[in-house]
A = this chain, B = another copy of it.
Amino acid sequence: GHELLAAERATSNIPVEKLSELLYTKEVLKRKQCILDVLKSEKVFDKSQNYFGGRIDRFETALARAKKLRNLRLKHRWNLDEYRTALEMISEPGPYGLHESMFLITLREQGTPEQHELFLKKAENYEYIGCYAQTELGHGSNVRGLETTATWNSQDKTFTIHSPHLTASKWWIGSLGRTANWAVVMAQLIIDGTSYGPHPFVVQIRDMKTHEPLENIHVGDIGPKFGYNTMDNGFLLFNHVKVPHIAMLARFSRVEPDTCKYVRRGSPSLVYGTLTWVRSTIVMQAGSVLARGVAIATRYCAIRRQFQDRDASEWEKGENSVLNYTMVQIRLLPLLAATFALHFTGKAMMNLYSENQKKMNASSGNADASKRGAGPEETRSGSDILADLHATSCGLKSLSSTIAAEGLEVCRRACGGHGYSSFSGIGPWYSDYLPTTTWEGDNFMLTQQVARYLLKSARSVASGKAPMNDTTRILSQYISRADIGCAFDILSRDSDIVDAFAWRTAFLTFEALKHRDEHKKPWNDLLVDFYRLSKAHSQYLVVKNFYETLQSPATVSQVDSETLGLLRKLFRLYALHTLEQEASEFYGSGAITIKQISLTRTSAVMKLLKEIRPHAVRLVDAWAFDDWVLDSSLGRFDGKVYEDMFYRASELNPLNKITVDPFPASEVLFKRDERAKSKL
């Protein structure tokens, strides 16, 4: 394997380091290396037993790691970014996960200064370990349907938290199962028999000394999952538990203790900002999440040899690298292109987000903000950057996490039988990533938000309003050519590819508008069309962002022209392969001809595969994953795939410490078990 990968690297002279710097920046790469060195030197982070442990062993190790990492952070004074880098390299969800994300964020953003003093400080100090308890057994996506109640008691100025039914049990709550002693609990606020919708309450759930559940609280771990088993997702039931007035996080609304009136204050648009931020990070990460799988599969398929080429004349020539088979290339190389496409899109999203935050901060205190209603639905499309950002983040979160999750499975399968081994490193990574397609907005449901936004934008354009942003711009352009049609020279001009994607989005948007506004079709009858529309729009955004990144002076100045040329090929491969997959929509919209589709399929894409193939290994090298991070036999940088597989199976695998009695006539199962011995 070793020489084979070396030979692969010799066939290309793409400057790997430069490309890494383009992806991450020099500083980040340096930071990563420092942190990696720290982690590698700590025994608790040794990964060699990761794939063998059962649920409880793995959870125990994850807890030890979480503690150690917290202590390392203090010791090395890591900032949040550095800490996150460490978590990413450890690559497993841990028991402090929700404490460190949603618990702290919610306290910070929704608490008053008094509540910060009381809760947030202790939480930041890990005196309180918390979680974010929103989802229930019966309700996830529909937050308004939550059943847990928080009833205001005017006599003693407390709230009673209660779970009226089994389905009101909190469920799926990360860090709650075994670890947390406090929780932010979303509950229906009830004052005097009237419900005011779900609100956040800070509730102690376990004893600070014994760590046993407090009275009238039933809490525990919800059991094994498809992945994520190092995390203790939990359940939580309340039997009339009283909490003080201060428990309700009161930055945006509160109950006046004296008048018992419900009072709103300010606009929670910042909270929607957070949701958008979370989704943007998902987009941002999708590229590198997928890149792990692509790196592993590409390296392995480069060294894996199987069969001689059918058209090769002499057997002597030896077996072919399976990465040379076009059927392997068509599975892996478009995904390789997608890793860059998603990464650049994520960066662009993040920039958009920061811009918006700046604007919002600039106009804060400004009366305008508080006039806006509670949800993003209330924002004004076409003129409102928050609305655009919200829709973009929904659509891209859905598309990018779907591409990453499904792409990882494609990578795993491309490795043939060995892809099925845990040592491939793809399966476990995939299983842990998979819930991303469901949480922070189920990927199918999010598309309704995108469609709603596009419909509003289309109505605004149709009513003659001038375009205010890119979305309304592409919609107006489409309208302006209603009687002229279009012609996109997709196979010779890159900008035409982007325009063809824009055209299709606009076409589908106005189709949907017609169905909804003219034909008055029920919303539910249009969900499938909306899904398609959102996907089309999001694909347009990815293609556009990839294109623009490669055009930008910042990029052009950072890499040499050969590398830039290769990146442009990756752009074309990503865009044309996507177009080919969705051919009937492009064709149906009139954006391209049948001949163009057929040329794309049989000629353009196949040619790009051939051109990119020699650079494949260097391109995945540019993602700069350390072997320790990948923890994969198949993806080793040095190509020593078989040696590593064999070592893990034969030296590390605890099942081999057991000798069975194989005969059905005997009731003895294990004749000899040397596990205990070797543990010492």
Residues in A lying within 8 Å of B, measured CB to CB: 51-57, 59-60, 63-64, 66-67, 70-71, 95-96, 126-127, 129, 135, 137-142, 145, 166-167, 169, 171-172, 177-181, 211-212, 218, 220-228, 232, 235, 305-307, 309-311, 319, 324-328, 330-331, 409, 412-413, 416-417, 419-423, 427, 431, 434-435, 437-439, 442, 444-445, 515, 522-531, 583-584, 587-588, 594, 597-598, 602, 606, 642-643, 645-646, 648-650, 652-656, 658-667, 669-671, 675
Contacts and interface: CB of A to CB of B under 8 A. Distances in A.
Given A423-B223, A655-B59, A417 B662 contact: no
B438 A126 contact: no
Contact of A584 (B211, B327, B584, B645): B584
Contacts of A179: 660, 662
Given A437-B413, A649-B220, A319 B522 contact: no
B420 A649 contact: no
Contacts of A127: 663
A529 B413 CA distance: 20
Contact of A650 (B218, B439, B660): B218
B658 A178 contact: yes
Contacts of A648: 223
Contacts of A645: 137, 171, 222
Contact of A70 (B305, B524, B664): B664
A139 B138 CA distance: 49
A416 B172 CA distance: 12
A66 B212 contact: no
A662 B180 contact: yes
Given A220-B650, A327-B527, A658 B56 contact: yes
B56 A55 contact: no
A526 B326 CA distance: 8
Contacts of A442: 416
Contact of A661 (B211, B522, B523): B211
Contacts of A526: 326
A422 B431 CA distance: 12
A528 B307 contact: no
Given A67-B664, A178-B656, A225-B421, 17 more contacts: A54-B56, A54-B57, A66-B664, A126-B665, A140-B416, A141-B306, A145-B307, A178-B655, A178-B658, A179-B660, A179-B662, A211-B659, A220-B656, A221-B656, A225-B427, A330-B528, A584-B587
Given A422-B226, A423-B223, A660-B178, A524 B325 contact: yes
A232 B655 contact: yes
15 contacts: A55-B655, A56-B655, A63-B669, A142-B306, A167-B642, A178-B662, A211-B671, A222-B649, A226-B421, A235-B649, A327-B531, A419-B438, A420-B435, A420-B438, A583-B584
Most buried by B among A129, A311, A326, A659: A326
B659 A212 contact: yes
A513 B529 CA distance: 37
A420 B434 contact: yes
A380 B194 CA distance: 80
A96 B597 CA distance: 51
A235 B646 CA distance: 9
A409 B431 CA distance: 12
Contacts of A221: 649, 653, 655-656
A481 to B, nearest CB: 20
A531 B327 CA distance: 8
Contacts of A444: 327-328, 331
A663 B438 CA distance: 30
Contact of A51 (B224, B598, B669): B224
Contacts of A529: 602
Contact of A416 (B141, B181, B325, B588): B141
Contact of A420 (B139, B226, B416, B662): B226
A579 to B, nearest CB: 11
A208 B268 CA distance: 73
Give the 9 A-B residue pairs with the shortest CB-CB distance, closest first: A54-B54, A583-B584, A327-B527, A226-B427, A70-B664, A310-B523, A224-B422, A220-B656, A67-B664
A508 to B, nearest CB: 12
Contacts of A438: 413, 416-417, 419-420
Contacts of A654: 56
A311 B523 CA distance: 7
A524 B324 contact: yes
Contacts of A423: 223
A646 B60 contact: no
B222 A421 contact: yes
B597 A584 contact: yes
A71 B140 CA distance: 47
A72 to B, nearest CB: 10
Given A55-B52, A223-B52, A64 B140 contact: no
Contact of A417 (B126, B140, B530): B140
Given A588-B597, A655-B178, A326 B527 contact: yes
Given A438-B420, A439-B417, A166 B528 contact: no
A659 B63 CA distance: 12
A642 B588 contact: no
Nearest to A324: B524
A292 B59 CA distance: 31
A527 B325 contact: yes
B326 A126 contact: no
A524 B327 CA distance: 8
Contacts of A307: 141-142, 145
A660 B142 CA distance: 33
A177 B658 CA distance: 10
Contacts of A145: 306-307, 319
Contacts of A653: 220-224
